[in-house]
Protein backbone atom coordinates (compact mmCIF):
# COMPACT_ATOMS: atom_id res chain seq x y z
CA UNK A 1 0.00 0.00 0.00
CA UNK A 2 1.42 3.36 -1.05
CA UNK A 3 1.11 6.20 1.46
CA UNK A 4 0.80 9.80 0.23
CA UNK A 5 1.21 12.95 2.30
CA UNK A 6 0.01 15.95 0.34
CA UNK A 7 0.87 19.49 1.46
CA UNK A 8 0.65 18.58 5.14
CA UNK A 9 0.93 21.37 7.69
CA UNK A 10 0.66 20.88 11.46
CA UNK A 11 0.57 23.87 13.77
CA UNK A 12 0.14 24.12 17.54
CA UNK A 13 -0.75 26.93 19.90
CA UNK A 14 2.08 27.48 22.37
CA UNK A 15 2.27 30.35 24.89
CA UNK A 16 -0.23 32.33 22.85
CA UNK A 17 1.65 31.98 19.56
CA UNK A 18 1.25 29.69 16.57
CA UNK A 19 4.08 27.14 16.21
CA UNK A 20 4.37 25.33 12.86
CA UNK A 21 5.81 21.86 13.52
CA UNK A 22 5.43 20.57 9.94
CA UNK A 23 5.21 23.00 7.02
CA UNK A 24 3.64 22.17 3.63
CA UNK A 25 5.16 18.69 3.59
CA UNK A 26 4.60 16.29 0.68
CA UNK A 27 6.04 12.79 0.25
CA UNK A 28 5.12 9.33 -0.99
CA UNK A 29 6.05 6.11 0.81
CA UNK A 30 5.96 3.22 -1.65
CA UNK A 31 4.32 -0.09 -0.92
CA UNK A 32 6.62 -2.54 0.87
CA UNK A 33 9.48 -0.13 1.48
CA UNK A 34 11.12 0.97 4.71
CA UNK A 35 11.42 4.76 4.87
CA UNK A 36 13.20 6.64 7.65
CA UNK A 37 12.06 10.06 8.80
CA UNK A 38 15.39 11.57 9.80
CA UNK A 39 16.41 14.88 11.29
CA UNK A 40 17.49 16.67 14.48
CA UNK A 41 15.27 16.99 17.53
CA UNK A 42 12.33 19.31 16.89
CA UNK A 43 12.43 18.95 13.10
CA UNK A 44 8.87 17.57 12.85
CA UNK A 45 9.57 13.89 12.19
CA UNK A 46 7.64 12.52 15.19
CA UNK A 47 4.77 14.93 14.47
CA UNK A 48 4.64 13.56 10.93
CA UNK A 49 4.53 10.01 12.30
CA UNK A 50 1.70 10.96 14.67
CA UNK A 51 -0.27 12.35 11.73
CA UNK A 52 0.24 9.09 9.83
CA UNK A 53 -0.97 7.23 12.92
CA UNK A 54 -4.06 9.41 13.25
CA UNK A 55 -3.04 10.65 16.69
CA UNK A 56 -2.70 14.19 15.28
CA UNK A 57 -4.97 15.65 12.64
CA UNK A 58 -3.14 17.96 10.20
CA UNK A 59 -4.07 21.64 10.18
CA UNK A 60 -3.88 21.57 6.38
CA UNK A 61 -3.34 18.95 3.70
CA UNK A 62 -4.35 15.34 3.13
CA UNK A 63 -3.09 11.83 3.91
CA UNK A 64 -3.92 8.91 1.62
CA UNK A 65 -3.49 5.19 2.27
CA UNK A 66 -3.59 3.93 -1.29
CA UNK A 67 -6.55 5.76 -2.87
CA UNK A 68 -8.34 6.26 0.47
CA UNK A 69 -8.28 9.66 2.13
CA UNK A 70 -7.62 8.89 5.82
CA UNK A 71 -6.97 12.49 6.92
CA UNK A 72 -10.00 12.48 9.23
CA UNK A 73 -10.10 8.73 9.97
CA UNK A 74 -9.57 7.79 13.62
CA UNK A 75 -6.33 6.01 14.58
CA UNK A 76 -7.98 2.68 15.44
CA UNK A 77 -9.62 2.51 12.00
CA UNK A 78 -6.47 3.13 9.95
CA UNK A 79 -5.02 -0.39 10.08
CA UNK A 80 -1.67 0.66 11.47
CA UNK A 81 0.75 -1.03 13.88
CA UNK A 82 2.91 1.18 16.08
CA UNK A 83 6.11 0.49 18.02
CA UNK A 84 7.02 3.11 20.61
CA UNK A 85 10.35 4.20 22.04
CA UNK A 86 9.47 2.85 25.50
CA UNK A 87 7.87 -0.42 24.21
CA UNK A 88 4.59 0.31 26.15
CA UNK A 89 4.20 -3.32 27.27
CA UNK A 90 1.75 -4.27 30.00
CA UNK A 91 3.96 -5.30 32.95
CA UNK A 92 1.37 -7.54 34.63
CA UNK A 93 0.75 -9.58 31.46
CA UNK A 94 2.84 -12.39 30.03
CA UNK A 95 4.50 -11.98 26.64
CA UNK A 96 1.74 -14.17 25.20
CA UNK A 97 -1.03 -11.95 26.60
CA UNK A 98 0.76 -8.77 25.52
CA UNK A 99 0.83 -9.98 21.93
CA UNK A 100 -2.74 -11.30 22.20
CA UNK A 101 -4.13 -8.00 23.51
CA UNK A 102 -4.84 -6.27 20.13
CA UNK A 103 -6.62 -9.39 18.89
CA UNK A 104 -8.73 -9.46 22.05
CA UNK A 105 -9.75 -5.85 21.39
CA UNK A 106 -10.65 -6.83 17.82
CA UNK A 107 -12.73 -9.74 19.18
CA UNK A 108 -10.82 -12.33 17.14
CA UNK A 109 -11.93 -15.85 18.06
CA UNK A 110 -9.63 -17.68 20.47
CA UNK A 111 -8.37 -20.49 18.16
CA UNK A 112 -7.51 -18.04 15.38
CA UNK A 113 -5.94 -15.58 17.84
CA UNK A 114 -3.78 -18.32 19.39
CA UNK A 115 -2.55 -19.30 15.94
CA UNK A 116 -1.69 -15.70 15.04
CA UNK A 117 0.22 -15.15 18.30
CA UNK A 118 2.29 -18.30 17.79
CA UNK A 119 3.05 -17.39 14.17
CA UNK A 120 4.21 -13.86 14.94
CA UNK A 121 6.23 -15.08 17.95
CA UNK A 122 8.12 -17.44 15.64
CA UNK A 123 8.62 -14.63 13.12
CA UNK A 124 10.34 -12.41 15.69
CA UNK A 125 12.03 -15.41 17.36
CA UNK A 126 10.52 -15.11 20.85
CA UNK A 127 8.43 -18.30 20.92
CA UNK A 128 10.46 -19.54 23.92
CA UNK A 129 9.61 -16.40 25.92
CA UNK A 130 5.82 -16.46 25.75
CA UNK A 131 5.30 -17.32 29.44
CA UNK A 132 7.60 -14.60 30.78
CA UNK A 133 6.66 -11.14 32.03
CA UNK A 134 8.27 -8.03 30.45
CA UNK A 135 10.45 -7.43 33.54
CA UNK A 136 12.12 -10.81 32.92
CA UNK A 137 13.25 -9.77 29.42
CA UNK A 138 16.22 -7.83 28.08
CA UNK A 139 15.63 -4.54 26.27
CA UNK A 140 16.08 -6.22 22.91
CA UNK A 141 13.60 -8.97 23.80
CA UNK A 142 11.05 -6.40 24.97
CA UNK A 143 11.42 -4.60 21.66
CA UNK A 144 10.70 -7.84 19.80
CA UNK A 145 7.54 -8.32 21.87
CA UNK A 146 6.45 -4.78 20.95
CA UNK A 147 7.07 -5.51 17.26
CA UNK A 148 5.14 -8.79 17.50
CA UNK A 149 2.20 -7.01 19.16
CA UNK A 150 2.19 -4.41 16.37
CA UNK A 151 2.32 -7.04 13.62
CA UNK A 152 -0.16 -9.59 15.02
CA UNK A 153 -3.18 -7.64 13.77
CA UNK A 154 -1.70 -7.64 10.25
CA UNK A 155 -1.55 -3.85 9.78
CA UNK A 156 -1.26 -2.12 6.42
CA UNK A 157 1.40 0.23 7.77
CA UNK A 158 4.04 -0.23 10.49
CA UNK A 159 5.19 2.90 12.34
CA UNK A 160 8.31 2.85 14.52
CA UNK A 161 9.02 5.86 16.74
CA UNK A 162 12.72 5.96 17.81
CA UNK A 163 12.47 2.22 18.60
CA UNK A 164 16.18 1.69 19.37
CA UNK A 165 16.99 4.73 21.50
CA UNK A 166 16.74 2.86 24.83
CA UNK A 167 19.17 0.11 23.81
CA UNK A 168 22.94 0.00 24.20
CA UNK A 169 25.17 0.22 21.12
CA UNK A 170 25.52 -3.54 20.51
CA UNK A 171 21.81 -4.21 20.99
CA UNK A 172 20.92 -1.30 18.71
CA UNK A 173 22.93 -2.88 15.92
CA UNK A 174 21.39 -6.33 16.45
CA UNK A 175 17.85 -5.02 16.80
CA UNK A 176 17.92 -2.79 13.75
CA UNK A 177 19.10 -5.76 11.69
CA UNK A 178 16.25 -7.78 13.15
CA UNK A 179 13.66 -5.07 12.40
CA UNK A 180 14.85 -4.97 8.79
CA UNK A 181 14.72 -8.78 8.50
CA UNK A 182 11.16 -8.87 9.82
CA UNK A 183 10.00 -5.99 7.63
CA UNK A 184 11.40 -7.61 4.49
CA UNK A 185 9.94 -11.01 5.35
CA UNK A 186 6.47 -9.62 6.00
CA UNK A 187 6.73 -7.16 3.09
CA UNK A 188 5.00 -4.44 5.07
CA UNK A 189 5.23 -0.73 4.34
CA UNK A 190 7.11 0.82 7.26
CA UNK A 191 8.10 4.28 8.52
CA UNK A 192 10.99 4.51 10.97
CA UNK A 193 11.60 7.73 12.93
CA UNK A 194 15.15 8.39 14.11
CA UNK A 195 17.59 11.25 14.75
CA UNK A 196 20.51 8.80 14.22
CA UNK A 197 21.80 9.03 10.65
CA UNK A 198 23.71 5.73 10.95
CA UNK A 199 20.46 3.91 11.81
CA UNK A 200 18.65 5.54 8.91
CA UNK A 201 21.48 4.79 6.47
CA UNK A 202 21.61 1.11 7.46
CA UNK A 203 17.91 0.23 7.60
CA UNK A 204 16.16 2.28 4.92
CA UNK A 205 15.20 1.92 1.30
CA UNK A 206 14.84 5.71 1.28
CA UNK A 207 15.39 8.54 3.74
CA UNK A 208 13.15 11.57 4.20
CA UNK A 209 15.36 14.27 5.72
CA UNK A 210 13.67 17.09 7.65
CA UNK A 211 14.71 20.36 9.27
CA UNK A 212 12.50 22.91 11.04
CA UNK A 213 9.34 21.23 9.77
CA UNK A 214 10.49 21.41 6.15
CA UNK A 215 11.39 18.61 3.77
CA UNK A 216 15.08 18.81 2.79
CA UNK A 217 15.75 15.73 0.67
CA UNK A 218 14.16 12.38 -0.21
CA UNK A 219 16.45 9.73 -1.67
CA UNK A 220 18.06 6.33 -1.10
CA UNK A 221 20.71 6.49 1.65
CA UNK A 222 23.78 6.29 -0.56
CA UNK A 223 22.44 8.89 -2.98
CA UNK A 224 21.85 11.27 -0.06
CA UNK A 225 25.43 10.66 1.06
CA UNK A 226 26.98 10.99 -2.39
CA UNK A 227 24.86 13.85 -3.70
CA UNK A 228 23.38 16.00 -0.91
CA UNK A 229 21.06 18.66 -2.28
CA UNK A 230 22.03 21.35 0.21
CA UNK A 231 24.50 22.22 2.97
CA UNK A 232 22.21 20.88 5.70
CA UNK A 233 21.97 17.43 4.06
CA UNK A 234 25.72 17.37 3.46
CA UNK A 235 26.51 18.23 7.08
CA UNK A 236 23.85 16.05 8.71
CA UNK A 237 24.71 12.87 6.80
CA UNK A 238 28.13 11.28 7.29
CA UNK A 239 30.57 10.54 10.09
CA UNK A 240 33.00 12.19 10.53
CA UNK A 241 31.14 15.30 9.37
CA UNK A 242 31.88 16.62 5.91
CA UNK A 243 34.63 19.25 5.64
CA UNK A 244 32.99 22.54 4.61
CA UNK A 245 35.43 25.09 3.18
CA UNK A 246 34.94 28.73 2.31
CA UNK A 247 36.96 31.16 0.17
CA UNK A 248 38.89 28.59 -1.85
CA UNK A 249 40.65 30.32 -4.78
CA UNK A 250 38.88 28.38 -7.53
CA UNK A 251 35.42 28.61 -5.93
CA UNK A 252 34.77 32.28 -5.22
CA UNK A 253 31.50 32.96 -3.42
CA UNK A 254 30.80 29.27 -2.96
CA UNK A 255 30.97 26.74 -0.13
CA UNK A 256 32.88 23.56 -0.90
CA UNK A 257 32.15 20.26 0.84
CA UNK A 258 34.63 17.36 0.82
CA UNK A 259 34.18 14.16 2.81
CA UNK A 260 37.08 12.92 4.92
CA UNK A 261 37.61 9.76 2.86
CA UNK A 262 37.91 11.73 -0.38
CA UNK A 263 41.01 13.67 0.67
CA UNK A 264 44.30 11.88 -0.01
CA UNK A 265 47.78 12.71 1.26
CA UNK A 266 49.88 13.46 -1.83
CA UNK A 267 52.86 15.44 -3.15
CA UNK A 268 50.65 18.36 -4.17
CA UNK A 269 47.02 19.26 -3.72
CA UNK A 270 44.27 21.82 -3.14
CA UNK A 271 44.86 21.96 0.63
CA UNK A 272 48.06 22.01 2.61
CA UNK A 273 48.86 22.29 6.29
CA UNK A 274 50.24 20.64 9.39
CA UNK A 275 48.99 17.43 11.01
CA UNK A 276 47.67 18.76 14.34
CA UNK A 277 45.70 15.77 15.62
CA UNK A 278 45.64 12.00 15.13
CA UNK A 279 43.34 9.33 16.51
CA UNK A 280 42.98 5.67 15.65
CA UNK A 281 39.42 4.34 15.62
CA UNK A 282 39.50 0.62 14.92
CA UNK A 283 41.21 0.13 11.59
CA UNK A 284 41.09 3.82 10.63
CA UNK A 285 43.46 6.62 11.57
CA UNK A 286 41.70 9.97 11.46
CA UNK A 287 43.94 13.01 11.14
CA UNK A 288 43.28 16.75 11.34
CA UNK A 289 45.27 18.98 9.01
CA UNK A 290 45.39 22.70 9.83
CA UNK A 291 46.32 25.25 7.19
CA UNK A 292 48.25 28.50 7.64
CA UNK A 293 44.97 30.45 7.86
CA UNK A 294 43.79 28.32 10.79
CA UNK A 295 41.23 26.37 8.74
CA UNK A 296 41.40 22.63 9.43
CA UNK A 297 40.03 19.53 7.72
CA UNK A 298 39.66 15.88 8.69
CA UNK A 299 40.84 13.00 6.56
CA UNK A 300 42.03 9.42 6.90
CA UNK A 301 45.63 8.25 6.72
CA UNK A 302 46.09 4.79 5.23
CA UNK A 303 48.63 2.30 6.54
CA UNK A 304 51.13 3.01 3.75
CA UNK A 305 51.13 6.76 4.37
CA UNK A 306 53.41 7.24 7.37
CA UNK A 307 52.10 10.49 8.77
CA UNK A 308 53.08 11.85 12.18
CA UNK A 309 51.99 14.78 14.30
CA UNK A 310 53.65 17.97 13.10
CA UNK A 311 54.21 16.77 9.53
CA UNK A 312 53.50 19.18 6.69
CA UNK A 313 51.23 17.50 4.13
CA UNK A 314 49.33 18.23 0.93
CA UNK A 315 45.82 16.89 0.38
CA UNK A 316 44.35 16.20 -3.03
CA UNK A 317 40.81 15.27 -4.08
CA UNK A 318 39.19 14.09 -7.32
CA UNK A 319 36.91 16.77 -8.85
CA UNK A 320 33.86 14.45 -8.81
CA UNK A 321 34.15 14.25 -5.01
CA UNK A 322 33.90 18.01 -4.50
CA UNK A 323 30.41 19.25 -3.54
CA UNK A 324 29.75 22.91 -4.36
CA UNK A 325 26.99 24.93 -2.66
CA UNK A 326 25.68 28.46 -3.00
CA UNK A 327 26.82 30.43 0.05
CA UNK A 328 23.55 32.36 0.41
CA UNK A 329 20.87 29.72 -0.22
CA UNK A 330 22.89 26.68 0.84
CA UNK A 331 21.62 24.84 -2.26
CA UNK A 332 23.82 22.55 -4.32
CA UNK A 333 25.20 24.10 -7.49
CA UNK A 334 27.33 21.22 -8.72
CA UNK A 335 30.60 19.33 -8.43
CA UNK A 336 34.16 20.54 -8.69
CA UNK A 337 35.72 21.28 -12.03
Residues 179 and 277 in one domain: no
**Integer CA distances (angstroms), 223 to 31, 137, 148, 217, 318, in order:** 20, 39, 32, 10, 18
What range does the domain containing 263 cover?
A: 242-335
Q: How many domains does the chain have?
A: 2
Mean pLDDT of the chain: 92
CA–centroid distance for 22 within its chain? 17
48 shares its domain with 90: yes
Domain containing residue 276: CATH number: 2.40.50.140
155 plus 79 within the same structural domain: yes
Whether residues 246 and 229 share a domain: the answer is no
Is the pTM for the entire model greater than 0.85? Answer: yes
Over residues 292-303, the pLDDT tens digits come to: 888 999 999 877
Query: Buried (b) or exposed (e) across 115-137, using 16+ Cβ within 10 A?
Result: ebbeebbebbebbebbeebbeeb
Nearest to 143 by CA among 123, 130, 169, 124: 124
Per-residue model confidence as pLDDT tens digits over 187-222: 999 999 999 999 999 999 999 999 999 999 999 999
Look at residues 211, 233, 255 and tell me which one is the last residue of a structural domain. Answer: 233
Residues 268, 218 share a domain: no
pLDDT at 336: 63
Q: What is the pLDDT of residues 247-269, one digit of tens each?
A: 888 888 899 999 999 999 988 88
Amino acid sequence: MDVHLKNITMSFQSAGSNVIAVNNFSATIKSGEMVSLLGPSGCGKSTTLMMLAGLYRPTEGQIFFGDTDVTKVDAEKRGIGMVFQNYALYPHMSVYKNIMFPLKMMKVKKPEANKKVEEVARLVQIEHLLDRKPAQLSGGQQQRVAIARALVKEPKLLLLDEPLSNLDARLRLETREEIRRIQLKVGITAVFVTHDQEEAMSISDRIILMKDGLLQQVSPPQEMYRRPVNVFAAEFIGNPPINMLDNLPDYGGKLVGIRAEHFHVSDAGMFQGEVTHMETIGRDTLIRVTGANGVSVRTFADAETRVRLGDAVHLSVKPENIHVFDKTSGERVGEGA
